[in-house]
Every structure is written in structure tokens, then in C-alpha cells.
Structure 1
């Protein structure tokens, strides 16, 4: 990795870490949104593996209900794994323009849904049927774009989990997704020891960013920051869709 690329990666993860420190989420979304405009989508996804794994494993293990959540969501986790492996195969063997278009659509839909505060309510009787489907769809989308928030985040919110359980369930889902993505990219030849080293560069700046974000959280209104963050994601998503559309035309 040359100096210019290393500087871009470091700065991107610093900002993404700040967003996660302030809002509690968004590190892979921001990192992929920025890196996806500057690097190959495959390379950008590989860069995300180590920083997202380290931050999400902490989110998964710190909490009161990991065992109960695994027992409740294990089938969805299996389907996320299968879907992610399929999505990663699509990412490494498919068109970069198609991946860019998919990423733009996912970012735009995520931003619009969050800005409009769409919330699902999942009846308990439907959870057993919906969880595998949600897991598979999340995996395919995440494996092909490295953004794992849709549709699993609104689905888990719709289950009515408590605040701590929701954060821990998201950490579980994102950890499984990241491990599966690393395996899928490795099979496709896009993630190896050298890439892991380059990816590790983002860990330090991401953790610094998270520390700064937590410091800023007490000094700014999180709702205001989150709104402008989502507007920024919508702009980036629209730009990715435009670029992909022009390239595919």
C-alpha cells in the first residue's frame, strides 16, 4: 500500500470510528461508503474485515444475554453465514459496477428508512419463519457490499429487544457476518495475510476515532449528528448509483 492510499484508509477509519463512537453504529457503513468511491469494492470490503471484527467482537461479548441470544438467533446466524459466503462469491467474481450500484442502493435505502424513522413490529409467531429469511437476505447483501445493517438491524429492532440486548444482538450478527466475509473473500483470493496487515491499519485509527466520538457524544446532540450523518450517506449513495449507472450505460 502506497502512502497516499494508507493516508486515505487511516483518515476514513478515523472518521468512521468517530461516527460509531457518537452514534453506536455506522463504522462499516461509513468506511465502505467512502472507500467504495476511491478503491475497488473488493479491496474496500477486504479493508473492513479486521477493524469491524475487533469493534464488533467487543460489542458482542459485552452484555448480559449472549447465551440467550445465540439460542434464540442461531438459525438466523447460520443463514447469515450462508448468505454472506454467496454474496462474497458474487463480489469477487461479478462486475465492480454492479457491486457499486448495489452499495449505492443499500446506502440510500438505509438512509431514507432511518431518516423517516420506519420501524417494524414483528409478531412473536412470525419470528421462527422470518429469521432465516432475514439472515439469508442480510448475508447476500452484506457479502456483496460489506454493509450488513439491512435488513437485520430494523428486523432486530422489530423483535422488541431491550436496549442492551439489541446492541448485543447486532454485535453478534455483525461478528458472524464479518467472519463469514473474511472466509468468502479468502476463497475468492481477495483477502490474505498481506491484506489483513493493511486492514489492521484501520484498527488503530478506528479506535482513536471511537474514543474521540465518545468524547464528543457528551458535547453535541446525537440526534442532530445522526440526521446529518444519514443525509451524508444518502448523498454518497446517490453518487455511487450515478457513477455505476454511467459506467454501465
Structure 2
């Protein structure tokens, strides 16, 4: 079984994967999200999409645990209480859509995530701000959660719509980091369960995913150091730039292969 894991990729690809994971962990620590997005974008350059999806699962569980641990249990509980609708629909849709991931052609896989990420992020970066009126808050959580969870189960990342939704709610930087950690943490555990069921995560791919925990952890610690030194305006722009760059690479892969 171990030999099957070693046969997933040549040594150079594993080393490159560790580098991608280190960079993804740094981005995650700095802006609070995008680890799976950066990993999928980078790993898919030289690995099969399903191997890439399997690889991201354990590192994103760890990264979100580390992110939530920077806050108190009471703060995390308040975040769950406030966003419970969003969390519930995301987890349900991740479990459902993860079962279809092996049926999705690779180019569709990339475009489903890349196109909306780049489009919505560019709109906001040039100055257009989406805002959710208080009266539409509950309905918007169900709608955005449905979209996020569906994308998350298929691609392994539901960060872009979540971040854009939090920005539309004018969520402060610290609270945004907390809410993202809670939403992604619970969602990543759901994703793990979903892909144990789908077969993407199995006895061969679990050791591969576990091996990426170390570079993911180191990257997160460096990212936390950077995040503590960014003001809110820089934080928001950095978040959108990360989304655009990673999303554009996915679109390129979807169109050009």
C-alpha cells in the first residue's frame, strides 16, 4: 500500500507539492483563506486533479484548526451562532456534491471555480462594493451557502464566495479571520468525510495528504506573522489580489489544459 502511495508521483513532483503547500499556508495565514485555492491551482499544474484534491484535505483541516485557535472558544461559539445557516447549508452541499467529483471533466472542474472567482474579485478590486441589506441577510446566507457548498464539494475550496460574502457584510478584519476559520474548519471536516465516501481519500492518498501537513503548518506560522502587521485596507486588497491570481490560473487551465 505504501508503494502505491509512492507511485502517485515522482520525487520532484512531491518536492514541488511541498513548495506549493508552504506558499498556500503562508497565504492562508496572512489573509485567512485561499489555502485550498492556491494548492489546487498550483498542484494541478503537474498532478492529476483528483490527486490534487486528495492532497489538500488534511492540510486544510489543520490550517483551519490553527486559525480558530487564535481566538477563544466563546468567540468561535458566537461566530457559529451568527452564521449557523451559512455553515449548515455549506456542510450539507459539500457532502452531496463531493460524491460527483469523480464524474466532472478536468477542464470543467477548473472553470467552475476560476471564472466566478476572477469575475467577482475584479469587480470589487476596481471599486464596486457589494453590500447585503439587513433584511436580506438570512436569505443571502442560504443562497451563497448553497453556491459555496456545491463548489466546495466539487473543487475542495469554498473560500472565494465566502470571502466575498463577508466583505459584502462589511465584516471587520479580525472577525473575518475568525468566521472564515470556523466556516472552513467545519466545512473541511465535512469535506474529509465526503471524500472518504467518494473514494478520493483512501489508503493510498491519505499518507500523501498527511505528508503535506508539515509545509502547510510552517507556511501558516509565517503567514500569521505577516497578518498581524497588515492594516484593514491592505488586508482587503491582498485578499482580492490572491483570489484573482489563483482564479486566473484555474481559468487558464480550464481553457488551455
Q: What TM-score do you get using the length of structure 2 for normalisation?
A: 0.82
1:110-149 alignment, distance < 5 Å? 111-113=121-123, 115-149=125-159
Q: Is the counterpart of residue 56 in structure 1 residue 56 in structure 2?
A: no
> What's 1:98 paired with?
108
Shift of 1:142: 1.3
Q: Does the C-alpha gap of structure 1 residues 219 and 160 become closer, same or farther in structure 2, counting only changes over 3 Å?
A: closer
- Change beyond 3 A, Cα 1:133–1:233: same
Structure 1-normalised TM-score? 0.84
1:113 and 1:203 map into 2 onto residues whose CA distance is: 34
Aligned length: 244
Instruction: Give the match's secondary structure for 2:44.
Output: helix
In structure 2, the residue matched to 1:31 is 39
2:256 is aligned to: 243
Q: CA deviation at 1:106?
A: 4.0
Partner of 1:247: none
Question: Do residues 200 (structure 1) and 213 (structure 2) align?
Answer: no
Label 1:61 to 1:18 Cα distance change in 2 as closer, same or farther (>3 A).
Answer: closer
Deviation at 1:199? 0.7
Which residue, out of 18, 21, 26, partners 2:26? 18
Provide the residue aligned with 2:3 in structure 1.
none
Counterparts of 1:126 and 1:102, CA distance in 2 = 26
Which residue of the partner structure matches residue 150 of structure 1?
A: 160
Counterpart-to-counterpart distance in 2, 1:181 and 1:117 = 34
CA deviations 1:172-212 (Å, max 9, x no partner) are 11112211211221111110243222112211112222334
Q: Structure 1: where are the runs of 5+ without partners?
A: 245-249
- Whether the aligned pair in 2 keeps the contact of 1:12 and 1:31 (CA below 8 Å) is yes
- After superposition, what is the alpha-carbon deviation per residue over 1:143-184, rounded to whole angstroms, capped at 9, x for unaligned? 111221232212123233333222111111111221121122
Q: Tell me how far apart the structure 2 counterparts of residues 169 and 103 of structure 1 sit (CA, whole Å).
A: 21
TM-superposed deviation, 1:215: 5.3
Paired with 2:86 and 2:238, the residues of 1 have a C-alpha distance of 32
Are positions 1:8 and 2:21 aligned together?
no
- The separation in 2 between residues aligned to 1:160 and 1:217, in whole angstroms, is 19
Q: Quick check: 1:179 aligned with 2:189?
A: yes
CA–CA distance in 1 between the matches of 2:38 and 2:222?
16
- 1:63–1:89 Cα change, 3 Å: same
